[in-house]
Every structure is written in structure tokens, then in C-alpha cells.
Amino acid sequence: MLKTLTRDEVLVIMPRADKRVDRFLPYINKYAKEYGVDTTLRMAHFLAQVAHESGELQYRRELASGMKYEGRKDLGNTHKGDGPKYKGRGLIQITGRHNYALISKDLGVNFEEYPEWLEQDEWAVASAFWFWKRNSLNTFADRDDIVTATKRINGGTNGLAERKAYLAKAKKVFKL
């Protein structure tokens, strides 16, 4: 069973997050149980992925312009300007009009109309947990399968070595 995550635990995993951790930690603790990230192994995997995707809680919006997503029907980007408008946001980088529409419906907040709201601290965290649950990532965390989890998040294995390094740190923190 997972206990309340502490600042010191997060900083062992994400040492560069020192100036940001206090903004996000209450929301991580709030949403973890609600979204079923309720074991130390699940939290270790969640934090490893979030550490990579957000640059240790630094980025809540993808740095690139989003033009590479323009016209990507697999992401639901069917209107001119959808690529930049629906580029990655939140701690796990929700991407594409389709995902923005889904999260809007599920959370009851109009992120499709106001995508920048996913950059707000609470929504950045909530969206990561939402994505985690919606994509059944606990299944892979429970199997200790970081490769498949990474493919579900990223579409490939981009940053796998870094994700594994974060996971190793998290496992030490949680004595796994």
C-alpha cells in the first residue's frame, strides 16, 4: 500500500525539481489514490515516466511548436492549426485534439476550447493520472514493464534509458 509521498522522496528521484516539487506534490498525493496509483511499484513507474516527460516537473507544455502534429488524423488533428493548438501539455504531455476531447469529457473541463488550462499545476498532474488510468498503465507497472508503458506514452521508446534511470531511483526510494 502506498503512503503519502514526501518532498524528500520526490527529490531523490527528481533532484532538479527542488524549486517546483512543493507546487505539484499535494496534487500527486490527491490524485494517486483516485486514479489507482496505489502501490509503491505503480508510483515508482508513474514518477519515472513523469520525470522524463516533464523534465523533472519543469515542463507542462511541449517545447516544440507542435507543427509535427499538424494534420495527424490518428491524433484527431483534422482542422488547420490543431497541431500547435493540441501539442503536448500536462506532466505526461496530453497530445492531439482527440485526447483533449476525451479528457475534457472525462474531467468535465473544456480543455478542447482552452488547452492551456492543462498547463496549470493541478490540471497538469490530474491529466497525467487520467492518461495513466485511461491507457491501463498500472497493468504494465504491476508487471514492472517500463518498455511497454513507455510505448503507450510516447508511441516508441524515446528516452527509455533515462526513464529506466528514474525508475531505478524510485525503486531505491520505495525499497523495491
Mean pLDDT confidence for 136-161: 97
Q: Which of 152, 147, 144 is nearest to 170 (CA)?
A: 144
* Contact between 47 and 10 (Cβ < 8 Å): yes
**pLDDT tens-digit series, residues 81-136:** 999 999 999 999 999 999 999 999 999 999 999 999 999 999 999 999 999 999 99
Contacts of 143 (CB under 8 A, 6+ apart): none
Model-level pTM greater than 0.85? yes
Residue 1 has pLDDT above 90, yes or no: no
Domains of the chain: 7-59+120-173 (no CATH), 67-119 (3.30.20)
Mean pLDDT confidence for 22-26: 98
* Contact between 150 and 36 (Cβ < 8 Å): no
Task: Label residue 30 by pLDDT band (50, 70, 90).
Answer: very high
Give the mean pLDDT of the chain.
97
* Contact between 69 and 83 (Cβ < 8 Å): yes
